């Protein structure tokens, strides 16, 4: 029993010593803190730490010089080739400005019925010409922009004489050249033949004449046309 009491006594003494030592150290620590002078350098600063933020950079698409050059090259290289449609230009056919057809009820010149012949002589002192025509035809006198027109009408095909002042013609042609290969009333002519008609131009001192036969390729009318041309005389 004495042994247990001795043990308790020793432990109590040790605990007391430790308590004394602990109290001493606490007292020293308190003294050291009490003597410390606090200022802005010794006191740590408290800073507000912001909430984490994520900076998202909006990507800006950039075009490199190489890509621009490539685009330019592609643009300049791409060419549209347009192949023009081939246009076939027909040979120019000069057609008189007017096909002789009586219009607006022109003046009818009475036909003289021949007694011994089927041909009738017709002379015009105003426009200074003479011609012989078939009794089957009727004469109509009319005017046109270039001058006077005399139509020798037939349902099968009209003949006509156009009289214009010097320097004008009843129809146009880019290469009107007179030749003595075919003459009318002793004058050189410009003769123009197509399948449907024959046109002959000749001149006097003050007038231009165009003799026109619409024969439509009919052999009988073509022969009548040649006789009509041969009979024409300047007065």
Q: What is the mean pLDDT of residues 173-202?
A: 97
Q: What is the mean pLDDT of residues 8-26?
A: 83
pLDDT score recorded for residue 106: 52
Q: Per-residue pLDDT for 156 more than 70? A: yes
Q: What is the mean pLDDT of residues 103-128?
A: 67
Q: What are phi and psi of 26, to 5 degrees?
A: -65, -40
> CA angle at residue 48 from 45 to 51, to 5 degrees?
150
Distance CA 159, CA 138 (A): 10
pLDDT bin (cut points 50, 70, 90) of residue 219 is very high
**Higher-scoring residue by pLDDT: 119, 27:** 119
**Higher-scoring residue by pLDDT: 42, 46:** 42
pLDDT score recorded for residue 93: 43
Lowest mean pLDDT among 2-6, 11-15, 67-71, 171-175: 67-71
pLDDT bin (cut points 50, 70, 90) of residue 163 is very high
Contacts 24+ apart (CB under 8 A), 145-148: 146/170
The pLDDT tens digits of the residues spanning 70-115 come to 444 444 444 444 444 444 344 344 455 444 444 344 555 544 444 4
Q: What is the mean pLDDT of residues 33-46?
A: 46
Q: Per-residue pLDDT for 160 more than 80? A: yes
> CA angle at residue 86 from 81 to 87, to 5 degrees?
135
The pLDDT > 90 percentage for the chain reads 50
Q: What are phi and psi of 77, to 5 degrees?
A: -75, -35
pLDDT score recorded for residue 22: 82
Distance CA 47, CA 197 (A): 116
Which residues make Cβ contacts (< 8 Å) with residue 231, sequence separation at least 6? 130, 131, 132, 133
Q: Which domains does the chain have, with CATH numbers?
A: 126-171+178-234 (3.40.1000.10)
H or E element at residue 197 = strand 197-203
Distance CA 168, CA 56 (A): 90
How far out from the chain centre does Cα 47 lie? 78
Lowest mean pLDDT among 25-29, 117-121, 124-128: 25-29
Instruction: Please measure the distance between the N-terminal and C-terminal CA atoms of the chain and give it in whole angstroms.
Output: 190
The pLDDT > 70 percentage for the chain reads 60
The chain-wide mean pLDDT, for the chain, equals 75
Distance CA 149, CA 152 (A): 10
- DSSP state string for 124-176: ETTTTEEEEEETT-EEEEEEETTEEEEEEE-TT--EEEEEEETT--SS--TT-
pLDDT score recorded for residue 3: 66
SS3 31: helix
| Structure-block tokens of residue 129 | 């010409």
Q: Per-residue pLDDT for 188 more than 90? A: yes
User: Are 163 and 148 contacting, i.e. CB atoms less than 8 angstroms apart?
Assistant: yes
pLDDT score recorded for residue 173: 95
Q: Per-residue pLDDT for 20 more than 50? A: yes
Q: What is the mean pLDDT of residues 156-170?
A: 96
């Amino acid at each position: 029993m004495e042994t247990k009491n001795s043990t308790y006594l020793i432990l109590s003494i040790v605990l007391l010593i430790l308590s004394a030592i602990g109290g001493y150290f606490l007292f020293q620590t308190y003294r050291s803190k009490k003597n410390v002078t606090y200022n802005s350098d010794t006191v740590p600063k408290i800073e507000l730490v912001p909430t984490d933020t994520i900076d998202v950079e909006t990507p800006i698409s950039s075009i490199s010089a190489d890509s621009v050059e490539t685009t330019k090259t592609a643009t300049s290289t791409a060419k549209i080739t347009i192949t023009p449609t081939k246009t076939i230009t027909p040979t120019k056919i000069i057609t008189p400005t007017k096909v002789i057809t009586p219009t607006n009820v022109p003046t009818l010149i009475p036909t003289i019925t021949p007694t011994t012949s089927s041909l009738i002589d017709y002379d015009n002192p105003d426009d200074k010409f003479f011609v012989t025509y078939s009794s089957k035809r009727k004469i109509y006198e009319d005017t046109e922009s270039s001058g006077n027109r005399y139509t020798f009408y037939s349902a099968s095909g009209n003949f006509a004489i156009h009289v214009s002042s010097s320097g004008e013609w009843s129809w146009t042609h880019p290469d009107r050249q007179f030749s003595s290969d075919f003459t009318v009333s002793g004058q050189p002519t410009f003769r123009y033949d197509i399948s449907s008609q024959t046109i002959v131009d000749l001149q006097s001192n003050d007038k231009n004449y165009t003799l026109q036969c619409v024969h439509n390729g009919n052999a009988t009318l073509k022969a009548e046309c040649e006789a009509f041309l041969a009979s024409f005389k300047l007065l």
